[in-house]
Amino acid sequence: MGLILSIETATPVCSVALHKDGNIIGKEDLFEDRSHSEKLAVMIKNLLDRCSKKPNDLSALAISMGPGSYTGLRIGVSTAKGICYGLNIPLIGINSLEALAWQVCQSNPYNYQLCPMFDARRMEVYTLLADHKLSIIEPTHSLVVDEESFNPHLMKSEILFFGNGMDKCRNILETHKNAYFLENIHPTASSVGDLAYKKYKNQDFVNTNSFEPFYLKDFIATIPRKLI
């Protein structure tokens, strides 16, 4: 039996899911910003209890590894590594944008190309571009969106943009006849678990000791302004 616990903390959404032999048996999503450190462990316990499972029943753990929020990724990965160490189970890393693209791929009747976007600092987004079968056209990268962004692709194909970084490019690209925008698409651990099962069967695990989140860019600390 392959029982996989999945964790998604790459954005303000905190999400956990359980898959048994590739089929989801339970999930819990919390749309509450900055809740990860306080709620993640409680959500995992509640999910296991609700599905009548114990930690020792787990075969592997899948983590949404980034890119995304520095704090969210750090909390998710540290929690995942702690569970894997404690239970001596393998860790599976899933690209957070690919998991979001998979989620939308399930309902893409017009076979648009898929462009998930996460909000990065300032005017940047984290993004990738995939075809309707999730074959990668442009790998994960950071991007400051301007009028020329995606032009070579938009001239030839229809592209569906989604994710919490979408609004940074919407005003720039929405007049293009091949640009489409899908609202209210949020990352979920369910999609992470869907992608993780194939890796589990192939024993495609990461090295738990050396594994780090896929931050994509270095963290830059800022000095908070003093209140007047």
Q: What CATH number did the domain enclosing 68 receive? A: 3.30.420.40
Q: Report if residue 224 sits inside a domain.
A: no
Residue pLDDT tens, the chain, 228 long: 699 999 999 999 999 999 999 999 999 999 887 778 889 999 999 999 999 999 999 999 999 999 999 999 999 999 999 999 999 999 999 999 999 999 999 999 899 999 999 999 788 999 999 999 999 999 999 999 888 889 999 999 999 999 999 998 898 998 899 999 999 999 999 999 999 999 999 999 999 999 999 998 754 444 444 433
pLDDT attached to residue 218: 56
The CA distance from 35 to 201, in Å, is 32
Are residue 111 and residue 131 in the same domain, yes or no?
yes
Q: What residues make up the domain containing 144?
A: 98-182
Q: Report if residue 207 sits inside a domain.
A: no
pLDDT attached to residue 216: 85
